[in-house]
Amino acid sequence: MKRRFIYAIMVFVALMAAHTASAQTGAGNLSGVVLGPDDKPVANASITYQSGGGRAPHIIHTDSQGHFTITKLKMDNYDLRASSKGIFSEWEKNVMVRSGKTKFITLRLIYAREMPKTDTAANDPRP
């Protein structure tokens, strides 16, 4: 009786470990839209994404309606940024992808607030 109980516990623990391992290696999705400074969807915008650790950057493009979907991502945190015609979005950092789930995100392209000014006279090497 004692052996059967111990055996049953071992089988239960093994099944739980296998279930946890399969859940951790499952895939999730990121989906979203890119909006321009005028809050309208941006067709063919570039989406740069990478795992939170900066590994393996990839680029995809939005469809004609400004939408994108990235499928089969490993469970991890991801960083994303959109760009189109020299306008960029802020980096969306640590976007969590979970197994079997789709995370929706909106990326907004923004104009640079102001270009840094340089003092050309101070940087001129001529006397």
Per-residue pLDDT at 60 exceeds 60? yes
Mean pLDDT of 89-96: 94
User: DSSP state, 53?
Assistant: T
Q: Is 73 within a domain?
A: yes
What CA–CA distance (Å, rounded) separates 34 from 43? 8
Mean pLDDT of 104-123: 68
Which helix or strand (DSSP H or E) is residue 56 part of? none
User: DSSP state, 77?
Assistant: E
Q: Is 64 within a domain?
A: yes
Task: For the chain, give the percent of residues with pLDDT over 90.
Answer: 61
Give the CATH number for residue 69.
2.60.40.10
Q: Is 20 within a domain?
A: no
Q: Is 122 within a domain?
A: no
Q: Is 117 within a domain?
A: no
Per-residue pLDDT at 8 exceeds 70? no
Task: Report which of 79, 78, 60 is spatially closest to residue 69, judged by C-alpha positions.
Answer: 60
Structurally, the chain folds into a number of domains equal to: 1
Structural domain containing residue 79: 26-110
Give the pLDDT score at 26: 80
Q: Is 14 within a domain?
A: no
Mean pLDDT of 42-55: 90
What band does 91 get if pLDDT is binned at 50, 70 and 90? very high
Task: Report which of 29, 45, 33, 35 is spatially closest to residue 78, judged by C-alpha positions.
Answer: 29
123 vs 87, more confident: 87
3-state DSSP call for residue 99? coil
Q: Is 118 within a domain?
A: no
Per-residue pLDDT at 88 exceeds 70? yes
Q: Is 1 within a domain?
A: no
